[in-house]
Amino acid sequence: MMKFFADLISAPRLLAPLVVMIVLPASVLAAGQIFWDWPSGRQFTEMVLQGLALDDRGSLVPGLQATEVGPVGPEVCWRVVPDSRGGFFTGTGHGGEIFHTDKKGQTRVFTTLEGAEVFSLIALSNGGLLAGCGPDGYLYRVNAEGESTLLGQVTGGYIWGMAVSANSETIWLAVGSPAAIYSYTDGQGLQERVTFPAENTLDVMLDTDGSLLAATQGPGLVYRVDVDLPASPWLICETRQDEVRQFIRGNEDRVFFLALDSDVGGPAGQDVKLNHMPTVSPSLISIFGEPMEPEVDKAALFRLEEGNQYSTWWTGNLDLMIVAWSEQWGWLGGGPLSAEGGQSVVHRLIPPAGHHPMAGWSGGDVLDLNLLDPKDGGRELLVGQAHPGGVQRLGAQGDGALQALSPALDAGRSVSWGRLSWTATTGPGKTRWSVRGGNRSVPDESWTPWSASWTANDHELDLPACRFLQWRVELPRRKAGTQEHWAITSVSVSAWQDNAQPVIRAFTVENLSDISHGGLLGSNDNITQEFTSGLRVEFGRKSAAGRKAGPTRAAYTRPVRVMTWQGRDPNSDRLVYRLEYRREGDRTWRTILAETGEQLGSWDTSDVPDGQYDLRLTASDHLDNPGGLALSSQKESGPLMVDNTAPEISGFRVREVPGGLRLVFEVRDKSSKLGQAILRLPDGQVQRLDPVDRICDSLKEEFDTEVSWPVKGRDPGDAPWRLRVEVWDLSGNVAVAEGEVR
């Protein structure tokens, strides 16, 4: 999260809010009836919430409402702390301003400090403040009139957190970088008391026994420090997360600490070299025998136990920056803008790993959470945010609407919208529902306006045909003094989509480039064909008893032709394919594959005569469209030459001539042109043979060739010498002739 802070400091516009509506596919997008159901197949967490929350059962209920209070204008509000009189102070960036908001909601600039970023604030009982700043490491004391006094400057540059001793004589500072703790006392000034093998010390807390707790980032460490012997800290914990961000007093007055998984890098994003040995975590073993590191959750909340032990209280993959404990609401956490509509969201954390939204509003990144008045049980919270900067007060009562906004429902194409129905646990008053629609994924001026609202739990939608729809529900406010309220338990939206014809994007007859023995699992009895497109196909067959796969086994698969294709259905219907062939001049199509959902097929041409053939592929959506509603598409390929007949060698003669041998023969092929001829000599060497006209490229070729034999320097073996000639046509068929020379 330090990288996040660095972005806030150095690039204040980087995290400017983008209002983006999530586009989610429908539960079923086949032609005909379409349904979008909550919570079946999806959760209400997809909603954009304004004053609503989710209860433990996942239903939509009234939640914490956000009311904007405090300063307007700062880009970043780092810290929000109550003043014990019903108001609060706000420490901001990037101008070093501290604002005060009184209990009537009136806000003024309390003081302006030279430190650009006010990272830490402590409200004093005399109405003043202590303020820690960055990037220059200034520590200020501010009196009740807003007059500031510079107490000192730390060399680390950033004062991330502070704690004050019970007698208010000593101020403890969490600083970085590097990670250290400083103390300040009147008369002695600032003193560095201890350093840690980390980048930053992010928080300090005085425990009930008078010792000091320290939390670091880069890596995430927790130390206990004896204030009388600070140079000998005791390491309590190294978390698997990179950052221990915060100490909190939670339920039962126990100490908790928040650990976050973040990018390594300091306030300026620099790399850090640490002189420490990291804790070794046990590795998992993958199926391939290689070690695998366990996945690290983005956030974890730990509880400090007796004897410097600790336990995991909550863990999850939420993007958090801060947490707070409220007797009224339990554990709450906030962080960067959520992906669900670019909203600020405060989540309720449910140990050991659950969470759901408690509040949502159109705001910025949540940087701080604090109880407005701890004595009231935490019924209201203050939220400091960034981009835009501001403070929100969260509570059960407010002036905003209690509503939830669905994501844009995407039907894939224009549809006729049907009905919206819902179920609920009812409370006082009535819920109000409305919809709007359009043909762009993000609602804009091209969408219809919101429809007139209705209250019935089953309603026919009055919208023109369009691709996208969004619904909105508003709940009535809870009456004072009653616990009865609405809980929306399910919502269903229906539509009708006319069927559209499937599309065959590609239909290809693969060109064979190589045949080899063996398969992907190393079986020598299988044959693998490799094609020019990169496709590899493995063939296997049952061998007869006692039969071994010989060196010509690969020839068995040569007549097998492989076809691939790509199909798409505009309605996302399931497609099945039919593959057929027809000899040139015939009218009847014959089946190769009757019905398959695969996009690959093979045809064994050894059972058909040589000649030219056409192929036809049919794609049908009949699985999802009964009766006469099904549609299909066809695509043809060809002509495809089928030639499984080897060339014929005639007149083969071989005889000795001075210095060598002379070979004479003629080769003919009925269908495919000849492509290559080779001579295998008695000593195993292979030599190319060229025809009389020098190019092997026609249906008939004559050969009259002299070759040197025996070859000087090579053992010719014993006579008679046996020679072998192989001639291949362009369909892969081979003719063989052999002769002896005595």
One-character DSSP codes across 530-565 = EETTS-EEEE--PPPTT----TTGGGGGTTEEEEEE
Low-confidence winner among 225-239, 469-483, 692-706 (lowest mean pLDDT)? 469-483
Question: Residue 456's domain spans which residues?
Answer: 22-47+402-496
Bridge-based pairing of strands 23-25 and 408-425 is: parallel
Residue 410 forms part of a structural domain: yes
Q: How many contiguous H segments (helices) and E segments (strands) does the chain have?
A: 1, 58
Same domain, 677 and 732: yes
Cα 74 to Cα 72: distance, rounded to the nearest angstrom? 6
Reported as a single tens digit per residue, the pLDDT across 560-575 is: 888 899 999 887 889 9
Please check whether residues 581 and 658 belong to one and the same domain: no
Enumerate long-range contacts of 624-632, CB under 8 Å, 24 or more apart.
624/30, 624/31, 624/32, 624/571, 624/573, 624/574, 625/30, 625/31, 625/32, 625/499, 625/573, 629/31, 629/32, 629/499, 630/499, 631/499, 631/500, 631/501, 631/502, 632/501, 632/502
Write down the pLDDT at residue 115.
82
Q: 661 and 688 share a domain?
A: yes
How does residue 543 score in pLDDT terms, banded at 50, 70 and 90? very low
Q: Tokens 């005569």 identify what position?
A: 609
For residue 281, pLDDT beyond 80: no
Residues 625 and 517 in one domain: yes
Find the range with the poorest average confidence among 252-266, 287-301, 450-464. 287-301
- Residue 323 · residue 381 · CB < 8 Å: no
Q: What is the pLDDT of residue 550?
A: 36
Residue 607 shares a structural domain with residue 481 = no
**Which of 456, 476, 496 is at the close of a domain?**
496
CA angle, 699 then 605 then 637, to 5°: 85
Residues 706 and 669 in one domain: yes
The residues, any chain, with a CB within 8 Å of residue 198's CB and separated by 6 or more, are: 176, 178, 179, 216, 217, 218, 219, 221, 274, 276
Residue 698 belongs to a domain: yes
CATH number of the structural domain spanning residue 445: 2.60.120
Torsion region of 439: left, alpha or beta (phi above 0 gives left; psi -120 to 50 gives alpha): alpha
Model pLDDT for residues 28-45, shown as the tens digit of each residue: 456 677 888 888 767 787
Query: If you average pLDDT over residues 267-286, what whole number do you get?
Result: 34
Tokens of 282: 């046990």
- Would you state the structure tokens that stand for residue 463, as one six-digit string? 């919208």
Q: Report which residue type is found at 108.
A: R
User: Which tokens go with 1?
Assistant: 């999260």
Residue 70 has pLDDT above 90, yes or no: no
Q: Give the pairing type, strands 65-69 and 365-371.
A: unpaired
Question: Which pLDDT score is estimated for 625?
Answer: 82
What CATH number is given to the structural domain containing 666? 2.60.40.10
389 versus 398: which is more confidently predicted?
A: 389
- Residue 465 and residue 515 in one domain: no
- Do residues 657 and 632 share a domain? no
Please choose, from the candidates 107, 110, 109, 151, the residue with its C-alpha nearest in 3D space to the C-alpha of residue 132: 151
Residue 682 carries which DSSP code?
T
Q: What pLDDT does residue 479 have?
A: 67
Does residue 362 lie within any of the structural domains?
Answer: no
455 in the same domain as 419: yes
pLDDT, mean of residues 305-332: 93
Q: Of 463, 496, 529, which residue is a domain's last?
A: 496
Domain boundary among 594, 623, 642: 642
The sign one gets for the Cα dihedral 717, 718, 719, 724 is negative
Q: Note whether 205 and 245 are within 8 A (CB).
A: no
Residue 657: alpha-carbon gap to chain centroid: 75
Q: How is residue 329 annotated by DSSP? A: T
- pLDDT of 295 > 90? The answer is no
Q: Summarize the confidence of residues 274-301 as an average pLDDT.
A: 54
Per-residue pLDDT band at 600 (split at 50, 70, 90): confident
> Do 517 and 610 belong together in one domain?
yes
Find the mean pLDDT for residues 321-329. Answer: 92
- CA separation for the pair 81, 120 (Å, rounded): 10
Contact between residue 664 and residue 653 where contact means Cβ atoms under 8 Å apart: yes
Q: Is the pTM of this model over 0.85?
A: no
Q: Report CA-CA distances (Å) from 313 to 42, 350, 354.
A: 27, 9, 11
Question: Is residue 141 included in any domain, yes or no?
Answer: no
Give a yes or no: residue 108 inside a domain.
Answer: no
Which of 231-245, 506-520, 644-658 shows the lowest per-residue confidence on average (mean pLDDT)? 506-520
Q: Within 10 A of 95 (CB to CB), how many other CB atoms are there?
A: 16
Query: Does 656 lie in the same domain as 733?
Result: yes
Q: Cα(540)–Cα(554) distance, rounded to whole angstroms?
A: 11
If one compares 118 and 714, the residue with the highest pLDDT of the two is 118
Mean pLDDT of the chain: 83
Give domain status of residue 532, yes or no. Answer: yes
The pLDDT assigned to 444 comes to 92
23 pLDDT above the threshold of 50: no
For residue 279, the model assigns a pLDDT of 33
The number of distinct structural domains making up the chain is 3
Token pair in block for residue 565? 């294709």
User: Which of 19-23, 33-37, 509-513, 552-556 reaches the highest mean pLDDT?
Assistant: 33-37
Q: Is residue 696 part of a domain?
A: yes
407 and 465 inside one domain = yes
Residue 487 lies in a domain: yes
State the pLDDT at residue 12.
34
Are the C-beta atoms of residues 349 and 29 closer than 8 Å to each other?
A: no
Residue 270's pLDDT band (boundaries 50, 70, 90)? very low
At residue 376, φ and ψ (nearest 5 deg) are -90, 10
End-to-end CA separation in angstroms for the chain:
88
Q: What pLDDT sits at residue 554?
A: 39
Predicted local distance difference test score (pLDDT) of residue 714: 82
Q: What is the pLDDT of residues 509-524, one digit of tens each?
A: 887 656 565 665 555 5
Segment 78-95 mean pLDDT: 92
Share of the chain above pLDDT 70, in %: 83
Structure tokens at 288: 């391939």
